[in-house]
Each structure stands twice: as C-alpha cells, then as structure tokens.
Chain A
Amino acid sequence: MAGADSPSTALRRRDLCTRGIRLVGKMRSDVIDLLDTYVERQGLDASASVAAVEGVPPAAVERWDEQTGTQRLLENLAAYRAFRTLLAQMLEEQREQLGEADAALGRALASVLLQVSAFAYHLEELLQLESRSPPSEEGDGPPPQPHLSLFEQKLRGLGVLRELAQWAVRSSRDLRQLAKPSPGTGSAPGLAESP
C-alpha cells in the first residue's frame, strides 16, 4: 500500500494534472478540427461507420470509476504511445499520397502528433511521481499492418482520429480523478498499489 503523499508531492501531482487537463483539452479541440479537415480532404462521409481497427487502442472502458490511479496512468500512456506511432504512419501516408498538394492537412496532423507526444511525456512524469517507472516502449506500438488499399488507409485514419478524440475526453476525466485529494490520507484516490 502506498503511504500518504508528502504535501509537495500532492501539490506537484495537482499541478501536473491541471496542466495535463489543459493540454488534453487543446488537443481534443485540434483533433476535432482535424477530423473535419481529414473527412473533407480525403473525400469521406463524416457519418461513415468504421469498425474497430487493429492496433488502435479503444477508449471504451468498463468500471471506469473503479480504476486505480496507476491503472489510469498506465492505460493512458499505452494509448498515447500507440497514437504517436499511428499518427506518424498517417503523416507518412499522407505525404506519399498527397505530397505538398495538401500541406494544411499535413501541418494539422503534425501538430496533433506533437501534442500527443507531449502528453505521453506528461503522463510519464506523473507516473514517475508515483515512484513508478514508465514501462519501456520495446515491443510496444501497433502490430505491423498488412498492405492496405488507399481507401482502407483513409478509413483507418478516420478510425484513429475518432478514437483519439474519445481518448482526449477520457484522459481529461482520468486526470481530474487523479487530482482529487483523498480525505484524511493526503493521497489522491485510487493510487494505492498492490504490494
């Protein structure tokens, strides 16, 4: 069981959570704008249903309110590391397909990729605060994709962005849960780890 936080640890956690919430809020706003641009530039139907794509971490979670703080951080970190790889792939594909013809889409993708990387780093800092080293990235990331047709690539991209938008909402809630002070113990709720 984790002991009670020192006041400075609790303050640092709260500060990191607050900054993380702002970061993820901006990211979500940019992802939603990017979704509109992506759908338009790729000639897709905004209401198209996209089946779950292999390698895209689903934001959907059961018993969300029962998760410990460490679980939240680990799941978030795994997700954003995966999105970092997926967005880099999308950027590469976009450059191959459209080249300089659609620099705006490329810039928007690059901007979101940067924010995803920044948030992943932010999560690593939060994990370190819990005296827990972030897991290594070896072997992480989505499995290698079979060759996809151009249309399949576009649909996959749509699925990636939609799921990222969901994650941005979930992450904001996760950080708010983490930032809650626990009454009496001085530690944030749900951060108790099994021995």
Chain B
Amino acid sequence: DSHIQYERVGADVTMKCGSMDWDAAVTWTANGTDIDESHLNGSYLILKNVDLSQSGQYSCYEGSSWHLKYQTYLRVGTPPKEPVLMCRSNNYPKGFYCSWHLPTPTYIPNSFNISVIHGTKEMVCEKDAIPKNRCHIRYLQLFSTVKYKVTLTVTNALGKNFTTLTFDEFAIVKPDPPESVVAKPVPNNPRRLEVSWQNPSSWPDPESFPLKFFLRYRPLILDQWQHVELSDGTLHTITDAYAGKEYIIQVAAKDNDIGTWSDWSVAVHATPWTEEPKHLTTEAQITETTSASTSSFMAPPTTKICDKGAMVGSGAVAVCWTAGLVVAAYSVLFI
C-alpha cells in the first residue's frame, strides 16, 4: 500500500515495512536508490533528524522475492507560522477584500479558512480564483460604527495557526493609484509642466465619493521632492520647474473624507519646453567671429552687475572694476 506521510523538519522517523516482522530481510529504497543498511533497525527504516532533502518516495521490498511490501511518500515540512493578513477597500463603497500569505513556507500543502464577522452577523468572503489567497466581501451596510472582525486560520498536516484583524469601515479605504498619468511641457514656458491623470478605474463612483490627490515631483538631479495636494480635478500645472531639467512625477489618491492614501502612481518623466538652439551657416559663423573682437562685452540684462562708467581695459577684455574685485576675492579664497 502507498500513502503520504508528513513529518516535521528535525524529527526522527521510523518506517515499518508494512506487516513484515521486525527480523524479516528487507531492502529499502529512497526514490529508487537503495538505502544503506546502517539506516535499518531490523526491517525498520530509521531516519534521524530529517531535513527537506529527504522528502521523496520510500519503498520496502522483501529480501529474496523483491516483492514490494510497502511504499510511502515522505513529505518533510513545518507547521504553519502565524499568517499575515491584510484587508483593504479599493472600491468603496462596494466592498473590501482580504489577502494573506505565510511569512515562511511550510513545504507541505496548507488550507486556509477565513471568517468575517460584523457585529453579530457572519459575512461570506467569496474566494477569488486568482489570486487564490484572496477573498472579497460586499458591504451590506454603510457608515456603520460597528467594527469588522476577520479571522484567518491556516492548517496543514503538522499543525495550525491563526490571526485576527479588527477594523472599522473607514479605516481600510485605500484607493488604487491614479491611472494614465501624463506630463507634458507647456509651449513657450520653460518652467512649466502640465500633469494630467485619471481616477483609478477600480473606484466605482467618483462623483459621490470624490478623490483628492497628492502630486510629487523633482528633477532627476535632485533627491528632494516637491509636494502639492489637490482637492479636486485631475489636472495640475507645475510652474516652478527648473528650465531644461528632466523631471520625475508621481500622483497618489485618497477619498476626500476617509481612509488612507494610495500607493504612488507609475512615475512619468518630462522636461519643460526649451527654445530651439539657433543653427548658424558657415558664412554667418565667419561674420560672427569678425565682429566679436570689436564689440564690447555685454552681460545679459538679468545678470547686469556694473555700469559702463566702471569699466577698465578695452576691447574684448574690457572688465568692470567691480567684477574684477569679485574675481580677485574668490581667487584669494581658493589659494
């Protein structure tokens, strides 16, 4: 006869060769390979301190006839640790789902049972086909102050464990991140980026249950994020972007009144509009070079630092004396 035998890691296992006497001559195999006689006590197979690698098919044959007398499938594993359980409503007010997993594998099959109680009422948590460690519940009541109590029990051949979660209706509301986030430069505006997004498609009724949003953005070259909270609408224009720098932008969502913020959306990248550089022809380059030596240095208006009257020197190296002092001061600092 053949069956499955479950044993804990570290246990000592004794296998009998079916109904054979202790002193019968037998041969044991593990996955078709003969087992050394040192592991035998008479016709019993002794496995001490079993580990996961010793899982497999064990067979016992009568010594002379090689008749198969006993076969078992040994599965070495562990009893379950306390499972990790999470419940969340990403489709409020329709319902919520609970999902779970084990913190460490047991290496043997486990079964899960979940119970949901609201006040005195037991609710049905319908298991999802995929993923199979998840079930969902439809709200029968809204705006209740009575807490929900969810208990998950995990059982396998070596033991059982459980965990309980207690929460109120509002606390577990957490939308999915906003979708279709798009960031575009604004023509002729070197410091603006226009960001748009959509409500998560899983949020069933944004009109009656509006979402608010949190937008964060930073140039790739910096670590610090800027944040903006937006109470309505799915469009925002960033007006303080650094010109010419590529930005990374993300958006999160939250119900206007209750629950917690979603995870951040997929990040999008965008660079503000910049003016196209002028391309010069060869003749133009020559004309430019000829005139450069005769024109005086002209600082751009925003960076004007001194008047014409304060100039010293002449021609291409004309420098105002104030600028000269500044340069000299920096030079002293770095010597």
Contact = CB atoms under 8 A, between A and B. Distances in A.
Contact of A61 (B142, B146, B208): B142
Q: For chain B, give the interface size range.
A: 10 to 19
B140 A59 contact: no
Contacts of B209: 173, 176
A60 B143 contact: yes
Contact of A62 (B140, B210, B257): B140
A89 interface: no
B303 interface: no
Nearest to A176: B208
Contact of A170 (B143, B207, B210): B143
B142 A170 contact: yes
Given A169-B170, A169-B257, A169-B258, A180 B207 contact: yes
Interface in A13-35: 25, 28
Interface residues of A, number: 20
Candidate in B145, B209, B210 with the most chain A CB atoms within 10 angstroms: B145
Interface in A46-68: 58-62, 64-65
A66 B55 CA distance: 57
A30 B321 CA distance: 64
Given A176-B208, A177-B208, A180-B207, A61 B145 contact: no
A142 B79 CA distance: 55
Contacts of B258: 169
Interface in A145-195: 162-163, 166-167, 169-170, 172-173, 176-177, 180
26 contacts: A28-B257, A58-B145, A59-B143, A59-B144, A60-B146, A61-B141, A61-B142, A62-B140, A62-B141, A64-B93, A64-B142, A65-B93, A166-B143, A166-B145, A169-B143, A169-B257, A170-B142, A172-B256, A172-B257, A173-B93, A173-B208, A173-B209, A176-B208, A176-B209, A176-B210, A177-B208
Given A59-B144, A169-B258, 16 more contacts: A58-B144, A60-B143, A60-B145, A60-B146, A61-B142, A64-B93, A162-B145, A166-B143, A169-B170, A170-B143, A172-B256, A173-B93, A173-B209, A176-B207, A176-B209, A180-B208
